[in-house]
Amino acid sequence: MQVLVCDVGPRDGLQNEAEALPPDTRAELIDRLAAAGLRRIEAVSFVRADRLPQMADAEDVIERVSRREGVELSGLVLNERGWERFAAAGLDRVNATFAATETFNLRNGNATLSEAVERVDAVLAAAGGTPATVTISCSFGCPFEGPVDPGVVVELAGRFAGRAEVVLADTIGVATPSAVRSLVERARAEGFHGHNTRNTGYANCLAALDAGARVLDASVGGLGGCPFSPRATGNVATEDLVYLLEGEGVETGVDLDALVAVSQWLEGILGRPLEGYFYRARSWP
């Protein structure tokens, strides 16, 4: 079995840092991840800088990246304005995202759920043949509304089936394996974006694979969370996930030693230990 591991560290990881890194450093992170064998990297987010200053200067970051054949760079957008910026930047895959609940959409994107869905519809229409992902955040729980009705997520995912790759996101890290297995299977989702907030992220990734997902999001060093959600810490760490998958006989194509070196470099940049475990334990014997 082969799985595509998408590293979202340059976007979802860095957006949760207290200070914004300069474009040169963000571009170098992308280059280092690509050199380690990551075939898809979520590089930037095309959102308002006043709302999320850590993601400012997306275009400058992309200009500094050394593009590699076989490496797909994606960018996150919330609306048509984001799509216009994405298209001008010339990335490979657009990730249009919205939440499964009314309140989270209002707080994160200043839109109702129906308006957020309409925005994604408009982005996909404009994207034409551009490869697209639709990520449904808060698929398992919302920090403002609590548990999410799985039927609502299944209905939302079905709206985009065949038009885009659908990824279900456990944005606040409340899911457990049985819930992930059931919802990924019911929604026929191609991907899963897990957070390890409550230490269930890695088990949830395996459950998503069991249910048929073949794209797993992770963040180098376990960086990230959600700045619009209280206490939503920690993405699944890419190197920890790769170690787990390879140990289970799942091919990722990622050079684990090179990935560890990226986390060690990033630790020096940020000046603190990262949340991941494997880069500190390293390979054995």
The residues that are catalytic are: 226
Q: Report d(CA 86, CA 80) in Å as an integer.
A: 9
